[in-house]
Structure 1
Amino acid sequence: MATNPTTKKTTGPAAEESTEAPTDTTGPRPERTASRAPAVVGPPLGHGETPQTVTLSHHLSLDGTDYTPGTTITVSPDYARRLRAQGFTART
């Protein structure tokens, strides 16, 4: 027969003591700053290349950032070519 290793919560004075608000002793939290999107998304630009702006037609996730359809991003020319070949860019 298996036994349950969890403990039951008690009712009464012990339960009332645990409902007190916890105190925060860590100090004030730092304010969040809005992070700016990088200038070029995806692989870096090669020497002498100019970035291209593309509009996405499908959801794309790069480096932990989600880009929804309709988002305009700036990418390297080689990466723009690959996105077009795979059908990720919108027809304009």
Structure 2
Amino acid sequence: MTTKNTKTAAPEGPAAEVEMTHAGSTAVRVPMETIMLSNHLRIDGTDYLPGAKVRVTADYARRLRMQGYIART
């Protein structure tokens, strides 16, 4: 059986900021949101457990909310 080394974010502590690259100008400020995950999610090879707080762009947070990945507060 092979094991895969992955990074795992702990649910406690400050929110981790996910680096997201976008095509286009880097001078544009993108609004960010801090979200709490309700399900396990892997972003760019990093595993985020349920309850983890993550800072993502507002657009990505909206898409995650529609798919049910964000915990209701």
Task: Please tell me the residue identity of whatever aligns with 2:69.
Answer: F
Aligned partner of residue 17 in structure 2, secondary structure: coil
Scaled by the length of structure 2, the TM-score of the pair is 0.64
The alignment of Structure 1 onto Structure 2 pairs a total of residues equal to: 54
Scaled by the length of structure 1, the TM-score of the pair is 0.52
Identity within the alignment, %: 50
Instruction: Give the alignment of 1:52-67 within 5 angstroms.
Output: 52-67=33-48
Unpaired stretches in structure 2, ≥5 consecutive residues? 1-15
Q: Deviations over 1:1-23 (max 9, x none)?
A: xxxxxxxxxxxxxxxxxxxxxxx
Conservation of the 8 A alpha-carbon contact between 1:42 and 1:79: no
Unpaired stretches in structure 1, ≥5 consecutive residues? 1-38
Q: Select which of 69, 75, 90 maps to 2:50.
A: 69
Query: Considering only CA atoms, is the larger Rg found in Structure 1 or Structure 2?
Result: 1
Aligned partner of residue 89 in structure 1, secondary structure: coil
Q: Distance in 2 between the 1:49 and 1:62 partners?
A: 18
Q: Deviations over 1:57-87 (max 9, x none)?
A: 0000111110000000000010000000000
Q: Distance in 1 between the 2:67 and 2:46 partners?
A: 19
